[in-house]
């Protein structure tokens, strides 16, 4: 697959949510499904994007934005590890799509830093 942008960025780790449950049958909220790495361009969200209000709250300067190829295999609910810091993907796949004409060019994902 030919990429429409330079992917000589950073290699980031993608973690999917666990399908496990605790003793009571509740999801255990761990991200231990190793989905591999993907090349990404990592950036700080722009001023206009930081003004965005999401269900998780306002975008902060500690949060990140990544630009990845459309076939990166990142899904809603995944967690990305960048420089040993974990980030949750905000929004859903449909909102991440950036099109050029009618073709999906790449994905642009806002990330919330995981605290704690």
Q: Domain of 47: which CATH number? A: 2.40.10.270
Domain ranges, residue 69 = 10-17+31-113
- Which stretches of 1-116 are DSSP H helices? 47-50, 93-96
Contact 114, 89 (CB under 8 A): no
With respect to residue 24, please indicate whether it lies within any of the assigned structural domains: no
Whether 22 is in a domain gets the answer no
Q: What is the pTM of this model?
A: 0.76
In the chain, the number of structural domains is 1
Closest by CA to 54, choosing from 97, 112, 15, is: 112
116 residues of the chain, pLDDT tens digit each: 444 444 457 889 999 887 777 778 776 777 778 899 999 999 887 776 666 666 666 677 778 889 999 888 898 889 999 999 999 988 888 888 898 888 888 999 989 898 87
Q: What is the pLDDT of residue 8?
A: 57
Answer yes or no: is 86 within a domain: yes
């Amino acid at each position: 697959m030919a990429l429409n942008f330079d992917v000589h960025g950073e290699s980031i780790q993608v973690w999917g949510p666990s399908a496990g449950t605790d003793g009571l049958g509740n999801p255990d909220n761990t991200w231990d499904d190793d989905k591999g790495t993907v090349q990404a361009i990592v950036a700080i969200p722009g001023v206009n994007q930081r003004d965005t209000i999401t269900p998780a709250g306002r975008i902060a300067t500690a949060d990140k934005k990544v630009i990845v190829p459309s076939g990166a295999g990142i899904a809603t609910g995944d967690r990305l590890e960048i420089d040993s810091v974990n980030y949750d993907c905000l929004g859903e796949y449909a909102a991440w799509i950036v099109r050029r004409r009618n073709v999906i060019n790449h994905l642009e994902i806002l990330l919330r830093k995981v605290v704690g």
